[in-house]
């Protein structure tokens, strides 16, 4: 989380001079440690640069880790014609698989009880 938060600080210039290059560096470090939102942000960054193939790769990884926003981003890319139907379907399937893996009776019971 610390690396991701540093990335956000540089992205938005909060307490530091705004620097997207440094933001991406911190997102990359966090993503390599499994931080799903960093992976999503790398994908969004690549979309902004016009690197659609790289963007889809990052977004597929985060979708398969259960990050819902990545599904929306890939859908937008599909609608715009820069991602394929197969990539969008793969993202949906990966996201659904991640949700299934996270299901548990104890988690459902805790949610039912309001925790």
Contact of 96 with 82, CB cutoff 8 Å = no
The contacts of residue 85 (CB under 8 Å, 6+ apart) are: 78
More confident residue, 113 or 49: 49
- SS (HEC) of the chain: CHHHHHHHHHHHCCCCCCCHHHHHHHHHHHHHCCCHHHHHHHHHHHHHHCCHHHHHHHHHHHHHCCCHHHHHHHHHHHHHCCCCHHHHHHHHHHHHHHHHHHCCHHHHHHHHCCC
Q: Has residue 82 got a pLDDT over 80?
A: yes
Per-residue pLDDT, 115? 84
Q: Which pLDDT tens digit goes with each residue over 13-38?
A: 999 999 999 999 999 999 999 999 99
pTM for this model (two decimals): 0.85
Over residues 58-78, mean pLDDT: 97
Indicate the pLDDT class of residue 81, thresholds 50, 70 and 90: very high
The whole-angstrom separation of Cα 46 and Cα 54 is: 6
Domains contained in the chain, number: 1
Q: Which domain holds residue 10?
A: 1-113
R_g of the chain, CA atoms, integer Å: 16
Q: Which pLDDT tens digit goes with each residue over 38-48?
A: 999 999 999 99
Q: What is the CATH number of the domain that holds 100?
A: 1.25.40.10
Q: Hey, how many other C-beta atoms are within 10 angstroms of the C-beta on 110?
A: 11
Over residues 83-107, mean pLDDT: 91
Per-residue pLDDT, 63? 97
Over residues 52-79, mean pLDDT: 97
């Amino acid at each position: 989380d610390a690396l991701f938060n540093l990335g956000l600080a540089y992205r938005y210039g909060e307490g530091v001079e705004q620097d997207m290059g440094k933001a991406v560096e911190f997102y990359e470090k966090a993503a390599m440690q499994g931080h799903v939102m960093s992976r999503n942000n790398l994908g969004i960054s690549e979309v902004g640069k016009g690197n659609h193939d790289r963007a889809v790769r990052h977004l597929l990884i985060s979708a398969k880790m259960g990050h819902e926003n990545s599904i929306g981003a890939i859908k937008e890319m599909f609608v715009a014609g820069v991602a394929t139907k197969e990539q969008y379907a793969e993202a949906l399937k990966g996201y659904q698989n991640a949700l299934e893996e996270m299901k548990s009776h104890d988690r459902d019971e805790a949610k039912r009880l309001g925790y």
